[in-house]
């Protein structure tokens, strides 16, 4: 077959445009393919041959490298000193001489070889371009478009390359559709068998941090900073913030006037995800207390060695501290690094039992004189030290709820101890 260099030049420019590759890169790839084809038809496959194309004139020039020797053993790789000095006057033994030959035609097999080399080299060149462009963007947020949804994996169009967003990196409850524009966090660029694989995320903690960085200019100046983030994407996030400048309110800075800053972040991640912003504190007890916000904490007992903490809260605050499905305490634990055990405040046993005994001692006298049911005096949790009747057995009995059972119990106590 005979190559039409003008058509080849057009093909090179078209490929460069479609693949988003520099024209010189595509030209080098084609030259390597032609060198492989030339070796196939005119030389040896181990020969060192380079090919140069002139896209304007249509010339294909091949240059075969040979070593200068005194006596030629293999003419495919060696050239005599006499012949070498004809091309280069000062050629000496051991030099490498390039012999120029013009290639005009190639066989069918050589042409097929050239095609395979072109495709392979183009893929490799494209991978390198992608790697070089996106390796510097790892750890940043970039604009993207959803290309297609394949089961649990979302294919993302990043412009010059495509990335994937696995289910683990998606926001829970968020729906994706082709053509949808969104922001993604470039998590990693993996070298795979089929080329570089760009992994993006919307569900990791760094995504939230970058969104706040775009909304809070004070972070760039260092006036405020994010100390820690615990996140369950699509559900809730807790962010610990601190101020490095006296008088600056870190929480207010991140919330913004009328909540504009935090609302902008929520608008990107979805309104269903709640964001708690708390003040970071180097004191672990205060930090744990803040992390459990909005819970009112009564007491925190730390075990630094085991990285555990017992948190005592008022009984009416227990459900708030734990949160829906344990969400609040789980995020607080991630944020602080402590394993949190939530307990409700309880009164002592002596306070619980004393009222029953005292009330039981006074009850017979009140019940007999007034002729009223004995339920109220027995159930009342108030006592004094003035009672003289010891009713140890009665205090151990379970609380009686029916009126006839209460009266029967009181009569038995009167008969046994006397009035």
For the chain, domain boundaries: 5-132, 138-203, 281-346, 350-417
pLDDT digit string, tens, across residues 161-194: 888 999 999 999 899 999 999 999 999 887 766 6
Of the candidates 262, 273, 158, the one whose C-alpha atom is nearest the C-alpha of residue 214 is 262
Residue bearing tokens 């963007």: 137
Enumerate residues 6+ apart whose C-beta is below 8 A from 74: none
Tokens of 306: 């085991």
> pLDDT-based confidence at 382, cuts 50/70/90?
very low
What's the topology of domain 138-203?
Answer: OB fold (Dihydrolipoamide Acetyltransferase, E2P) (2.40.50)
Give the residue among 131, 190, 191, 183 at the shortest CA–CA distance from 161.
131
Q: Cβ(182)–Cβ(146) under 8 Å?
A: yes
Three-class secondary structure of residue 53 per DSSP = strand
3-state secondary structure of 325: helix
Q: Please tell me the predicted confidence (pLDDT) of residue 48.
A: 85
**What are the pLDDT digits (tens) for 77-88?**
888 888 888 888
- CB distance 74 to 46 below 8 Å: no
CATH class of residue range 5-132: alpha beta
Q: Look at the pTM and tell me if it is higher than 0.75.
A: no
CATH C-level class of 281-346: alpha beta
């Amino acid at each position: 077959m005979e190559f039409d260099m003008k058509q080849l030049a057009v093909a090179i420019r078209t490929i460069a445009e479609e693949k988003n590759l520099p024209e010189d890169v595509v030209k080098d790839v084609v030259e390597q393919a032609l060198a492989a084809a030339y070796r196939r038809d005119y030389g040896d496959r181990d020969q060192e041959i380079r090919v140069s194309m002139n896209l304007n004139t249509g010339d294909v020039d091949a240059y075969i490298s040979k070593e200068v020797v005194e006596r030629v053993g293999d003419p495919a790789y060696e050239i005599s000193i006499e012949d070498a000095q004809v091309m280069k006057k000062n050629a000496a033994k051991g030099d490498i001489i390039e012999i120029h030959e013009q290639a005009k035609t190639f066989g069918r097999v050589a042409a097929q070889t050239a095609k395979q080399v072109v495709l392979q080299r183009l893929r490799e060149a494209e991978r390198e371009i992608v790697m070089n462009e996106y390796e510097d963007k790892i750890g940043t947020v970039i604009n993207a478009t959803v290309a297609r949804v394949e089961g649990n994996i979302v294919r993302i169009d990043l412009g010059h390359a495509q990335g994937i967003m696995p289910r683990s990196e998606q926001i829970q409850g968020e729906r994706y559709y082709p053509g949808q524009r969104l922001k993604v966090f470039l998590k990693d660029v993996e070298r795979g068998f089929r080329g570089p694989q760009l992994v993006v995320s919307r569900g990791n903690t760094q995504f939230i941090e970058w969104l706040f960085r775009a909304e809070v200019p004070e972070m760039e100046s260092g006036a405020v900073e994010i100390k820690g983030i615990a996140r369950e994407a699509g559900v809730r996030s807790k962010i610990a913030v601190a101020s490095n400048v006296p008088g600056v309110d870190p929480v207010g800075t991140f919330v913004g006037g009328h909540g504009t800053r935090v609302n902008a972040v929520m608008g990107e991640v979805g309104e269903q995800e709640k964001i708690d912003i708390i003040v970071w504190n180097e004191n672990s007890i205060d930090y744990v207390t803040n992390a459990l916000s909005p819970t009112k904490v009564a007491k925190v007992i730390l075990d630094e060695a085991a990285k555990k903490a017992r948190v005592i809260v008022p009984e009416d605050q227990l459900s708030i501290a734990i949160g829906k499905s344990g969400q609040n305490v789980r995020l607080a634990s991630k944020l602080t690094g402590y394993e949190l055990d939530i307990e409700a405040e309880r009164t002592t046993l002596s306070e619980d039992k004393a009222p029953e005994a005292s009330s039981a001692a006074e009850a017979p006298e009140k019940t007999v004189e007034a002729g009223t049911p004995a339920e109220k005096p027995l159930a009342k949790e108030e006592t004094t030290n003035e009672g003289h009747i010891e009713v140890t057995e009665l205090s151990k009995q379970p609380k009686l709820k029916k009126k006839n059972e209460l009266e029967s119990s009181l009569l038995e106590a009167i008969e046994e101890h006397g009035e």
